[in-house]
Structure 1
């Protein structure tokens, strides 16, 4: 067991758990924040890739490049939808729904790859579905307007795109993590540039800029560096457990700093969602897609 790598991964997940807190204090909308994030990721990790000489030994494969670009589209949409969810609902609720991604990977494997859905997979899906209803609040399902403005749709879309990111990256074997991320964030810059409203950056305070820079440099550059430097030395099961440091930190910060107080039903919903996800991870069945096939795509 590589203790050093475990510590690095734990630190990276703990830091990333604060991304919701940073995004809500950045003072700019989700799309522009993701645009900035893509720029920093491209510069930071692209620079590391170049300085370490990795670009010289990169094994380029045309099929994998196109697959990576498609994966990048889903990754960027995942970020945008998650930050939109943070704007509409509590970080704890958004992050809980966001972590439904492994369940969606299971469903995608069944629908697209015709993998056999086991009884345990169906049970986990039902448990998570009930949990998502409880965590958002049944009252938000009484009208379409309440349902849309609850932020549930954005959080759910972020989970779906996260699942598609993992799903489309399952067979990426030749490209390095740095090349993969560089291509994906370049896609993000190109995708979001036409839609960015640059006037939102006017009138921002120094504090706003610190949170924006923190989201780009710390949560993207530094966290990705620690993540890529550690996962190669850890087993999938260890990574599966340690990634849960992210939502735990997010919920703790939301509770301690932003004074989020879940209701009894919301607390039960959180327990059901993470219980269903853990059940999926630790009871994989033959022929069913594991929630983490390509470790490079775990970080959101």
Structure 2
């Protein structure tokens, strides 16, 4: 077992877990924050890609480039929806729903690739659905207005887009992780540029800018570097287990630093969601292969 790779992946997942805490202190909306994140990731990772000489060894494939650009659209939407959910919901609740992505990958495989849905997969889906209702709060389902304002839709859309990112990238083999991420974040800059309100960056405090740059350089640039450097040296099962460091850190930060106190039903909901995810990941019939070039929170 590669101990160094395990340590690097654990550190990257732990840092990922703090992104919600950083996001709510940036002082700018989700769309503008994702725009900055795309710029930082593009500059940071493409620089490593260039100075290590990886760009000289790159093998470009038109089909994979197009597929990667499509993945980039899903990835950027995933980030925007996730950050909008952070604006409406507690970080713990958002992250728990966001981690439903493996369940959606399972469902996509069933309906699009006509893969057989096992009893285990069906049970995991039902458990996660019940957990989602508990975690959002049954009271929020009493009216459409309450439901729409709960942030549940944004969190669920982020999970769906994350699942689509994983699903559409499963057949990427030729492009390196750095080339893939460069294309994905660069397309994010192009997509978001016309919609950004740059006046929102005026009057921000020094602390706001530190959180903004931290989200871009640390949570995207540095963490992606650690992730890419470790993922290829570890088996899928280890990666699947270590990804749980992310939500654990997020929930701990939310409870310790932001004084989030889940109700009994919400605690039960969080437990049910993670139980369903474990059922999906450790299934002997189907494993969710986490792609090094699509892991983006």
Cα distance in 2, alignment partners of residues 141 and 296 from structure 1: 36
Cα pair 2:239 2:290 within 8 Å, conserved:
no
Cα pair 2:240 2:290 within 8 Å, conserved:
no
1:91-130 correspondence to structure 2 within 5 Å: 91-130=91-130
Cα distance in 1, alignment partners of residues 229 and 292 from structure 2: 12
Deviation at 1:292, TM superposition (A): 2.3
Deviation at 1:283, TM superposition (A): 1.1
RMSD value, Cα: 0.7
1:297 match: 294
Deviating 4+ runs (over 6 angstroms): none
- Structure 1 stretches lacking a partner, 5+ long: none
Cα pair 1:71 1:168 within 8 Å, conserved:
yes
1:268 match: 268
Paired residues, number: 297
Deviation at 1:298, TM superposition (A): 2.4
2:156 match: 156
Normalized against structure 1, the TM-score is what?
Answer: 0.98
2:47 match: 47
Cα distance in 2, alignment partners of residues 298 and 105 from structure 1: 14
Cα pair 1:172 1:294 within 8 Å, conserved:
no
SS across alignment from 1:71: helix
Cα distance per residue 1:52-102 (max 9 Å; x no partner): 000001011000000000000000000000000000000000000000000
Cα distance in 2, alignment partners of residues 53 and 296 from structure 1: 18
- Structure 2 stretches lacking a partner, 5+ long: none
Deviation at 1:271, TM superposition (A): 0.3
SS across alignment from 1:70: helix
Cα distance in 2, alignment partners of residues 284 and 191 from structure 1: 39
1:13-92 correspondence to structure 2 within 5 Å: 13-92=13-92
